[in-house]
Structure 1
Amino acid sequence: MVGKSKKRPGSRPYKNFSNDTLVQAVQDCKNGLSYRKVAEKYGISKSTLQRKIVKKHCQPVGRPTVLSEDDEHNLREGIISA
């Protein structure tokens, strides 16, 4: 039986906002509000807003796939029809 882990008191909260809130915050920044004002309004850190607007970490994690989406689809269809 696997035990449940508990957060330690005083530990850092990770992503305590929804994706909709983040999208609204990014739109407010693009409309001219400062990062600091938007961060205070929505409760999102300034660095998170800056990364999302500059799109610094938008690439997928890990190695690229061996087969393209089309090749994988054709292989799947060939296996199913066989």
Structure 2
Amino acid sequence: MTAASQDRYAATAAVPEDLDSAEAKLVYLSLKTAGGASVDELRDNVGLNKLTLHSILRTLRERGTVREDDGIFSPAADAR
């Protein structure tokens, strides 16, 4: 297994267990890989529309899975 493969596997394995939808998992992994992103960057990266992203991000913030700072969303440090 290459180092890049191991990194991708580690990121996948680190998805919090309470994420139910494939879209929420995709958004979380995109944020984790990028280290943070705006809604526009997420739209470009994952291909979901802004309305869907805002709904997912609101839920993830309420659960404490992601945080927002000046329009940039990133995984919460204690997300499991």
Normalised to the residue count of structure 1, the TM-score between the two structures is 0.34
For the pair shown, the structure with the greater C-alpha radius of gyration is 1
Which structure features the higher share of helix residues? 2
Which structure features the higher share of strand residues? 2
Task: Work out which structure has the larger RCO, using CA pairs closer than 8 Å and 6 or more positions apart in sequence.
Answer: 2
